Each structure stands twice: as C-alpha cells, then as structure tokens.
Structure 1
Amino acid sequence: MSDAVPLLPSDFDATASPILPDNSIRVRTTGPLNLQGASNDTVLQRHRREGSTGQEPRRCCKKTPPNQRKAKYPIALVASTWGLLTNIERAIIIPTMWLFFIKYWGPDTAAEFYGSTLGVFSFSILIATPLFGYAGHYGISVKFLLLVANLLEVLGNLAYLCAHGPWAVFAGRLLAGIGASCEPPMYADLTRSTEINERTPFIIVLLLSRQVGLIFGPAFTLILERLNLKIFDMEINVYNGPGLVMACLWILHSILILIFYPILDKSGAFADDALKITQITSTKPNESAPTNKVEARLSGFRQYCFLTLYATIFASYYSVMALESVLSPVANRAFGWGPVEVSYIYIAASILVILVSTIMHFLSKCIEDRKLICIGLCFLVTSYLYLTVVIFTLDALGEWGKFLVVTGVGVHVIGMPFPLAISESLYTKFVPSPQLDHAQTILRTVINVAFLVGPFVGGSLQAHPSVVFLSMLLLNLIPLTMLLSRFSEFRVTSETPSERPSTTNRPSDSHLSV
C-alpha cells in the first residue's frame, strides 16, 4: 500500500474527488517511499476512486467483481419495484384525495385538510429518512429496514381505507410517509454494486419504473371508478379503495424483499464473502485494504458543485410535486374534470416520460451529464413561464385553455427526466464509495424537503395556481444559473487503464497517515 496521501481542500480528508483541479492536491509521505519518476499526476490518479471516470461509455477502468455482478440485479429489482409502488401510490391517491375529502366531509374540510395531509406525508419522510440512512450506515441490515418500512406502509394505507374522519386520513398518510423513508441505504447498496459507466443507465431504469407506476396508478383509478363494494359497514369505492390496493401491493413487495434482497457489506460484497475478502487483503495489501490508521471522513458536501446539484434536485422534485398537487383542483374548477380525466393526463404523461427516458438513455452515452442537465432545466424554465401566463389568462382562453394547459404540462414532462435522473447519477460520481450512506442520506433529505414543500405550496395555493407556477419558474432558474456560471467544474475527469500506475514499486509495509 502506498504512503502517498492526497491532502484535499474543501473538507475532503482522504479521497480524491474528480471535481477538484490537479493543482489543488498536495502530497505528504510518512515513511520510506520510492516515487522516483512519479509525478504528482500519477499519485493523484492512483488515489482516484469512483467518480474518476469520464463520460465515454466504452472505457472501463476495472473489471466488475463477481459479487457486484451478482448483487446489483436483485437490488435493482427491489429498488425499481419500490419506485414503481411509490408512484402508483402517489398517482392513485393524489388525484382522488381532494374529491375524497369533498365527498365525505364537505368542501370546507377539503380546503382545510388537503394541503396539510399532502404535506404530512412528505414531512414524515423528511424526519424519518435520516434515521433510516444512519441505521443502514451503522450496520443494521438494509433488508430488515425495508421490511419495517413496508409494514408501516401497509398500516398507513389500511388507516386510509378505514378512515372515519379527516384526521384518520391524516394519520394514515403520516404512517405511510415514515414507511416511504427507506431509500438511502437501498440506493447506497445499488451505487456500491454498480460501476460508474453503468450507473446512469441503472438510475434511468429506476426512473422508468417510477413512470410505469404513474401509468398503473391511473389504471387502478379507472378500475376503482367502477367499484362499489360494501364490507360490513364499510363502503369501498374510488376514494378510499386506493388504501386497500396499496396495502396488498406492499405486502407483495415485502415477499419480494424476503426472497431476493441480498445482505451486503460496505464494499458491495455479499456479507458471507466479507470474511474471505478481509482475510485475503490482510495477507496481501492493496489499495483498498482497510487500515485503522486512516480516517476517510467526508465533510465536503458544502462544495459549490454539491450545492448546485442539491438545488437542481430540490427544484425538480418541488416542481413535480407542486404541479401534481395543483393540477387536480385547477382542472376540476376550470374544466370540470374528475378523477377519470386527471388519470388520463397521468397516463399520457407517463408514456411520454418513458419515451423521453429511453432517448435519454442513449444520449447519456455520447453527451456529458452536465449538458443533459442544462437541456432539462431549459425545458422546465420554458414550461413554467408558459404555464404562468396561460393560467393567468385562462378565463379569456375559453375552450383553447384545455389544449394550452396540456401542452405546458407536456413540455414539463419532456424536460423533467433530465435533472431528476442525470443529476443524481452525476452526484454519485463525485462521492467516494465509503461515504455513500451519508451522501444518499443528504440527497434523500433534500428530495424529501422538496416533497414536503411542493405539495404544501401546491395544495395551499391551489386557488392561486399562477403563483405556484411562478415559484417553480424562479426555483429552476437558480440551479440553471449556478450550473452555467461554473460549467467547467461539473465535468467528470476520465481515467484510462494506461494512466493507472504500476503496483510493483509500492512498499508492502508502509502505512497511510492523514
């Protein structure tokens, strides 16, 4: 193992980040070291980990370990079905909740509880996400955490089904929100088990699964529209039926977790292989061998690039949730649309997202992540400026209003996959592997803040939709400006196999000192 340790600025202690220029890396040695003929660039390249690869799809810095090849597919299966069910739940409950309150408790109760009930779901996710993230980081099995989360989802949806008052609906969404908070450890496992050159396609697959959920959700709504059952004294219809559907689906997902989800260590290896790997590395030191003399702590999440990506992801998710929250009430008042018509919009939007994501999958192989993010943000800014004007003049547009609103939503749908998927992929390329739990916890917390603020603003200001779209416009202008002002810092540097130094001159008895 080499003695050379890059001392990084901006609070990075031990792992080089691809976003830092080479001239900001200093090397300190603590023991005998033969670096004759080795340049600082060679030392830097030796210490580049994940995130040091470029955008070229054909390059491959290292062969994927067999344990990663085995682990990534079952994790991707569970994560994609998780995303599928979360979006089915969102697409089946959000369009009908407003009418649920109106039918059972009247317009006044609907106006009072709609925004807060949407918000409490996101607020509970915001509070519980760091707890699940740190639980996974400190050794609790991700498989166990997922099963606990699914149990809470089942209980929350059963409360929604059996609600005898608006507070029961509120409590059910609170429980379901806590259950929907287990993404950080699951996404950290998926990131560890994938190579950087395949990570963007995997994240796009997760995005596609979510969009498929937005198709199945309205499809369930159309089925429930014809449902009118009575079990004992409880009536099951299109308004409370989503609780029954989602409870059954989360039970099936729990069975899937029990059968397929692997138990991994922090390197992405199966837990039963971890002891063998430790024994091998203890007898034959290498770059990845653990040492208790190194503290690889990452506290550099305040860097400009991370703040920009956080702003991008926050603005994108805020816009998605705010639009979905305000769309149903506006369409109901302006066009007389009910849950069926809104469901058709969701289905059409989901099909469009799937087409755009498929195109994006191929674009990601030849266009840099930073450029794809800019493309998406430009679409979003254009869409929200357009919708602000259209909604403000909606009364004067007559029958053309429907077409113009749907067109604006379509532009939003075209642009949204780019910042959602590509920003998250770029973020993981900048984060060292040992810190993925912390990084995913921070990222999911940012997303969950958007999930809290977006529905609350959209639901509370559903009587003033132009204000909602204007807020979406301003929020998306901020990350676009930040990204363009330091565009060069968001390029991921490449490392080819020829650039990686030979290990023949590395002393086997040296140690690292930070």
Structure 2
Amino acid sequence: MKCRRGSEMPESLPLLVERAAKNFYRRRLVTVVIGLVVAFAVGSENAIILPTAWKYLQSLGSRDETDFGILISAFNVGGLISSVFFGWLVDRRMDLCKRIVFVGAMIQIPGNVMYFLGIHKWFVISARFICGLGSGIIAVILAELARATSNEERTKYLTLGFGCRQLGLLFGPAYNFGLHDIHTHFGDVSVDEGSLPGLIFAIFWALALVAIFAGYENIGKLHHSLQMLQEYAKESESIKYGTFSSIPATSDRHPVASTAAREPEVRVLPLPSSTPYRNKFQREIPYDRLDDVVHSSFLDLLTDTTVVILFMQITFFFGQYMVETIIPPTMQDSFGLGNQENSLFYLLIGCEAILSFVFVILVRKRLLDRTVIMIGNVLIVIGLVSLMLTTWVQTSHPDYAFPFFISSCTFVFLGVPMASVSSVALASKTVGPESQGKMQALRRVASSVGLILGPLWAGAFVFDRFVLCGVTIIMFLIQIFLFVLSYARMIPK
C-alpha cells in the first residue's frame, strides 16, 4: 500500500493513533485483570493446601515431618525451574507470552488432580512439584506488566500483582473453615479437607484456561507497536510542517524521513486491533523489532545494582519467613495460645501487608522506589531488634511480653511488603523490555532462596532469639550498606 504526502496521511494518523491507544488500554485492562486473578489463585492455593497438607500426608502413611518439608520444597523447586525457563523464553520470543501462560495454567490441572487423588505420599509430593512448574507463569505475567507500563505506572501495577497474591494468602485459610466438615467418598477416593483443595483448583484452572484463551493478550508486544505508531505519527507531523531537524539523520532506522524527496512504500504494521476500522486504517510502519535486539544472558543482567536488588529479595523473604516460622511455637510455648490464635494473628499479618501495599500505591508519585525501600528496611530492623529483646522483656516484664512480641512482628510485616515490591519495581526499571522475563526469573530465584533458608534458620534457633535475630540483623545491615553504596546508580532507564 502506498501512502502519499497529501492530506490523507496527516488527517488519518491522529485518529488512527487515538483509536489504537484506546484499544490497547482496553485490552491491557482485560489482560491485567486475568493476571491478577491468576496471582490471587496461586496465593490462595498455597494458603489452602499448606494448613492441611501434613495431616493429608499422615493419612497416606507418612510419619516423618521431613516429608512435609519436601512437599513445600517441591513446589518451590518446580517454580524455580519453570520461572528461569519461562523468563528466558519470553525474552527471546515476546509473542509467546500468551501461549506460555496458557501452558502454565494447563500444567496446574493434572497437578491438582493428582493431589486430589492422593494414592501415596510421593504421588502427592510429585503433584505439588508439577503445580510449582505451572506457577512459573507469575514471572511471565510480571514481566509483561513491566513491558506494557511506563516507569510512572509500573510500581502501581506490580504492587497490585503482589497485593492480589497476598490477598490470596490472606483469604485462603478462611476457605478451610468451609471444608472442615466434609468427609465423603468419590468412588475409592476419600474427599475431605485435605484432598478437596486439589479438586477445587483443578476446576478453577480449567476455567482459567477459557479466560486466558479468550481475553489474555501479549500486551508487551502491543505496547511496543503502539509506541512505534506514536513515534511515526510525530515524525509524519514534522514532515508535514517541514521540521526535519527533529528527525534522525539516518534513514535506515526510520525511512519515513525521506518522504520529502520521494514517495516511498510504507510497510504495514499490524495494529493491535480487532475492530472493523482495522482494515481501513491499517498501515505497515517500519520500527525496531525487539526480535532484532541482541538478547542479554542471565549473567549480563548481574550488574552491581542488580545483584544488590536480588540480595534485598533474599533478605526480605528470609526475614519474613523466619518470623512467620517462629510464631506458632512462640505463641504456644511462651503464651499458651493455640491454632485459633495463630490463625487470627496470620490474618492480622495479611491485613498489614495489604496496608503496606496500599501505602506504596499512594506514595508512588511522591517518593522514589529507593526511598520506600529504605523506609521498609528501617521498619524491619526495628522489628528484628525488638524480637531479639522479647526474651528479656518476658523475664523482666511478663505482662508486657505478649504485646511487645506482637508489636515486633508488626514492624517486620509492615516493612517487608513495601520494601520487596519497591525493589522489584526498581529492578524492572533498570533493565530494558528485552530483559524483563529474565529479571523476573532472577527475582523468583532470589525470593525462593530466602523462602527456603528463612524457615530452616528459624527452626534451628527458634528459642535462641539473640542468635536467631542477631545474625538476621547483621544480614540486613550488610544489605543496607550495599544499598547505600549503590543508591546513586539505581536510576530507572
């Protein structure tokens, strides 16, 4: 199709850009909603299964608590493997994002069906590993959110992603109250609160496949196409009024600049639209394809600033899960409280996390990500120091020990969400769109390291608070020191 330097191009392009932008934002909204529902489901699945998993394993013949740890680790190992692979793949082929999310959701179905059937403890552990493989799509979804948003929007959208997962963790245990009294059989399969979550989420992921197929889009690629269309429209406007100084001197990158001298063929760029006006206004526009970019490796991303951010992720999740692990034994042995009080406390923790995420969204335009990270670090260190002093308070002022313990945990669980999500947002802003998948994969690896090591450390020194919290405080001080050294270089691109 040929495009003349007459009235047609200047008159049609502004309308074309406006319609393409509206269409993109509509399709992005649908995709974001689907992604947030998936994040909520992943959080809910863990929250529903973990409280009943140990009894479920016992009903299948397990007598060793190590099996429970293996079950938890199996999910995380599966997530690590798939996150790295999916992250690498979507950076190589951005158009595969929808297919990968679809495949990940499909993997969840047999994993949850296996968990529902039970049969044997290793069958259940294998089921959680398969579900972990499917959970790697979270890295893809977050990478797409980073590609399809500006630096100003990104913190809000990533916070929503983390917040929905936290909402799933918050409301997940409530579902178990509804499943508690169910004891029946489906053929030879026992249906109870231990096995039923597998059936529920197998059905959910089957429905999610329909939503992903019908509404999920490769919004990163659509956003890139929209940017190129807007850039082309600006250059065309410059040509119309003869302002060639703003156009790049070389015609290789944007051949449209030569239209003042001759009448070229303008190649058509498929616009992100399925509406009837697509055929009328569709143009092929030369642009820099991400497929032509020299793709970076995982090692190329490990700059000094990225390493510091990943170390932050390790320390944040190490501290969070360390504190979460010591809550049940402390509540039982030090204060004589049981499961109901533990559940109420975890509910409080979830509410705190939501408040922390809301704070990040509200201040995103007033405070830099780096500033929010520092605020979160300060809150965490205050909480850890207070936890270290809990034993002394319990001995000298026993009446104040319980509120002191609750307050100490409160500082930690307010600081971790705001610091972790801000560090993820900052990391996504320090790399280009061609590396977002690998960055999210590295983030998942770092957070999983903290998630695995934190409970192990807490289990070894749960009643030795000076060692438990002292070493953790030293780790955070090292992290803060490295963060301060890299502060000036952590500038969004």
TM range (shorter): 0.7 to 0.9
Alignment match of 1:128 (pick from 72, 82, 107): 82
Mapped to 1, the partners of 2:35 and 2:117 lie a distance apart of 29
The residue aligned with 2:260 is none
CA RMSD of aligned residues (A): 3.7
1:237 aligns with 2:192: yes
- Deviation of residue 378 (structure 1)? 1.2
Gaps of 5+ in 2: 1-19, 237-252, 258-284
- Mapping 1:267-416, distance limit 5 Å: 268-269=223-224, 283-284=255-256, 289-290=288-289, 295=294, 297=296, 300-328=300-328, 331=331, 339-390=339-390, 402-416=402-416
Change (3 A) 1:128 1:293: closer
1:77 aligns with 2:77: no
| 1:84 partner amino acid | F
Alignment match of 1:117 (pick from 63, 71, 76): 71
If you compute each CA radius of gyration, which structure gives the higher value, 1 or 2? 2
Conservation of the 8 A alpha-carbon contact between 1:126 and 1:452: no
The residue aligned with 1:90 is 46
The residue aligned with 2:99 is 144
The residue aligned with 2:427 is 427
Gaps of 5+ in 1: 1-63, 494-514
The residue aligned with 2:443 is 443
The residue aligned with 2:212 is 257
Mapped to 2, the partners of 1:339 and 1:397 lie a distance apart of 25
Higher helix share: 2
Conservation of the 8 A alpha-carbon contact between 1:373 and 1:422: yes
Give the TM-score taking structure 1 as reference length.
Answer: 0.71
The residue aligned with 2:485 is 485
Mapped to 2, the partners of 1:292 and 1:152 lie a distance apart of 28
Q: Cα deviations across residues 266-301 of structure 1 (Å, max 9, x unaligned)?
A: 463579x99xx9xx9764269963599974757653
Higher alpha-carbon deviation: 303-312 or 243-252: 243-252
Conservation of the 8 A alpha-carbon contact between 1:391 and 1:405: no
SS at match of 2:223: coil
| 1:155 partner amino acid | P
SS at match of 2:301: coil
Conservation of the 8 A alpha-carbon contact between 2:48 and 2:197: yes
SS at match of 2:371: helix
Q: Percent identity?
A: 20
Mapped to 2, the partners of 1:246 and 1:421 lie a distance apart of 27
Change (3 A) 1:424 1:291: closer
- Mapping 1:172-251, distance limit 5 Å: 172-251=127-206
| 1:86 partner amino acid | V
Conservation of the 8 A alpha-carbon contact between 2:145 and 2:220: no
- Deviation of residue 409 (structure 1)? 2.4
Change (3 A) 1:174 1:237: same
- Deviation of residue 166 (structure 1)? 2.8
Change (3 A) 1:258 1:462: farther
Change (3 A) 1:90 1:405: farther
- Deviation of residue 475 (structure 1)? 3.2
- Deviation of residue 257 (structure 1)? 1.2
Conservation of the 8 A alpha-carbon contact between 2:101 and 2:140: no
| 1:369 partner amino acid | D
- Deviation of residue 309 (structure 1)? 0.9
- Deviation of residue 122 (structure 1)? 1.1
Q: Number of matched residues?
A: 424
Conservation of the 8 A alpha-carbon contact between 1:189 and 1:268: no
- Deviation of residue 230 (structure 1)? 3.1
SS at match of 1:141: helix
| 1:305 partner amino acid | T
Mapped to 1, the partners of 2:134 and 2:480 lie a distance apart of 33
- Deviation of residue 367 (structure 1)? 1.4
Mapped to 2, the partners of 1:150 and 1:131 lie a distance apart of 16
Mapped to 2, the partners of 1:103 and 1:423 lie a distance apart of 42
Q: Cα deviations across residues 339-361 of structure 1 (Å, max 9, x unaligned)?
A: 54433223222222222222222
Mapped to 2, the partners of 1:457 and 1:440 lie a distance apart of 26
Q: Cα deviations across residues 32-53 of structure 1 (Å, max 9, x unaligned)?
A: xxxxxxxxxxxxxxxxxxxxxx
- Deviation of residue 238 (structure 1)? 3.0
Conservation of the 8 A alpha-carbon contact between 2:52 and 2:194: yes
- Deviation of residue 338 (structure 1)? 5.5
Mapped to 1, the partners of 2:343 and 2:406 lie a distance apart of 13
The residue aligned with 2:266 is none
Mapped to 2, the partners of 1:251 and 1:318 lie a distance apart of 34
Conservation of the 8 A alpha-carbon contact between 1:91 and 1:214: yes
- Deviation of residue 91 (structure 1)? 1.8
- Deviation of residue 164 (structure 1)? 3.6
Change (3 A) 1:180 1:470: farther
Change (3 A) 1:311 1:209: same
The residue aligned with 1:23 is none
Conservation of the 8 A alpha-carbon contact between 1:200 and 1:425: yes
The answer to which structure, 1 or 2, has the higher relative contact order (CA under 8 A, 6+ apart) is 1
Q: Cα deviations across residues 93-133 of structure 1 (Å, max 9, x unaligned)?
A: 23333444456647x512x2222222221122112211112
Conservation of the 8 A alpha-carbon contact between 1:118 and 1:455: no
Give the TM-score taking structure 2 as reference length.
Answer: 0.74
| 1:240 partner amino acid | S
| 2:152 partner amino acid | N
